[in-house]
Copies of this chain bind each other. A is one copy, B any other.
Amino acid sequence: MIPEDHPRYASLVAREKIADAVKSGIVVIEGASAHGRGEAFDYLLGERTTKSAACAERTAAAFLIRAARPVISVNGNTAALAAGEIGALARASGALVEVNLFHRTEKRMQAITRHLEAHGVVVLQGAAERLLPLAHDRALCLREGIYAADVVLVPLEDGDRCSALVSMGKTVVTIDLNPLSRTARAATVTVVDELTRALPVITRSCEELGADEAAQLVRRHDNARLLAEAVAAMQETLTHAVD
């Protein structure tokens, strides 16, 4: 048991959730390594939602509520860390939820779907087809889901897949703690924040944003500036560390 007053409580709980999810087959071992990479960048971010990340989260919400067919793409790490938060965001934004895995097996697809459903998430079902411009099973998605979406939220996504969705003309919102990653650079909106901090802020913004404010956030959006601000926050942490 991790004591609740531990200064890094949230981070340690997340680490434990990932380890448990590896044991239950929801997360692959590579997912545990990827989680570790995220932890390192979150540490540099100060394990907090920066002002610039909060702006990215409101902007993400603006794109989602203005979308005609928003879809949330969920992988193993996202399901393990934030099943409940994904459900809340789907309800607040009207987005469909599709399970989409990099290391795809039928067994994992089912385990993740069951896990999400146990947390009250309605998961889109159907026969996946090779519809994305990627090799092999990476191309698989649902025709009525990601393929038909105009706005896709892909938390913790691989760079190739993020780029493929952008190349299809979709608006891609990602949540990625590494502001230098290919995903972060390719996406339309990059939220540089930890998943379970980011999702509730996006959800609340979906509920609160008026049409005018949402339109303004979309008009004023500048992803390069958001990324530069995230990098600046990390540089500050490094600078203070050697003071």
- Asked whether, in the complex, the Cβ of B19 is within 8 Å of the Cβ of A241, the reply is no
For the complex, give the distance between the alpha carbons of A40 and B36 in Å: 8
Closest Cβ neighbor of A179 among chain B residues: B241
Point out the residues of chain B lying under 8 angstroms from A43, CB to CB. Answer: 37, 178, 180
Interface residues of A, count at CB 8 A: 32
Point out the residues of chain B lying under 8 angstroms from A40, CB to CB. Answer: 36-41, 178
Q: Knowing A36-B40, A231-B238 touch, does A19 contact B15 (C-beta < 8 A)?
A: no
Contact pick for A35, options B22, B33, B180, CB 8 Å: B33
For the complex, give the distance between the alpha carbons of A35 and B33 in Å: 6
Q: Knowing A33-B35, A36-B34 touch, does A235 contact B227 (C-beta < 8 A)?
A: no
- How many chain copies does the complex carry? 2
Per DSSP, are chain A's interface residues mostly helix, strand or loop, or mixed?
Answer: helix
A81 on interface, CB distance cutoff 8 Å: no
Point out the residues of chain B lying under 8 angstroms from A32, CB to CB. Answer: 22, 29, 32-33, 36
Residue interface mask A201-243, B partner, CB < 8 A = 1: 0000000000000000000000000011001101101110110
Residue interface mask A17-33, B partner, CB < 8 A = 1: 01100110000011011
- Report the 7 A-B pairs with minimum CB-CB distance, sorted nearest first: A36-B36, A40-B40, A33-B36, A32-B32, A37-B40, A36-B37, A19-B29
